[in-house]
Amino acid sequence: MITRSSLSLAAIGAVAVLCAGPAFANKDFCGDAGTCQEMGVYNRSSALVTSVVITQEKTDGACIYDKRTFSKNLSGTGGDNMVGDGYTITANTTCKYKIKFKTTDGCTGDKTTHMTPSNFANGKYYVELKGGCGSLNAKTQ
């Protein structure tokens, strides 16, 4: 029997899921793979990053194509230390990833970088956007 209180609880649950948003519903690209590593995504530029599109590429058939958009504003402070907002995802170290930073209109530069199995093997575990609004540069570190 469906009661008014069970409908209210269901509605509250649905609102909580909507408020959390699909952007961070699943930051795990690993699944059941045993080769998982946290990968940091950082905005260390003076531009505002409005979203980041991360695409797991097929990588010679070893991985599945999986494209996700993480819609969360990441502020950067610019300046000498280039400290800014970021987050981590869990990546499969045997896959290649394409990371594209989307910024506010008018900010130009190289906003795309890649993370590869050799990057992971060489101790590179994060990507960052650096520079000013007219001279952005995405890098793998």
Judge whether 31 lies within some domain.
yes
Measured from the Cβ of residue 98, the count of other Cβ atoms closer than 10 Å reads 14
CATH of residue 57: 2.60.40
- Mean pLDDT in order along the chain per 10 residues (141 residues): 42 36 61 80 93 93 91 80 82 95 94 97 95 93 92
Buried b (16+ CB within 10 A) or exposed e, 49-82: beebbbbbbebeeebeebebebebebebebeeeb
Q: Is residue 43 part of a domain?
A: yes
Give me the pLDDT at residue 92, please: 92
Residue 15 pLDDT = 34
Q: State the Cα–Cα distance between residues 87 and 81, nearest whole angstrom.
A: 18
Look up the domain containing 43 and give its range. 26-140
Q: CB-based burial of residue 44 (10 Å sphere; 0-12 exposed, 13-18 middle, 19+ buried)?
A: buried
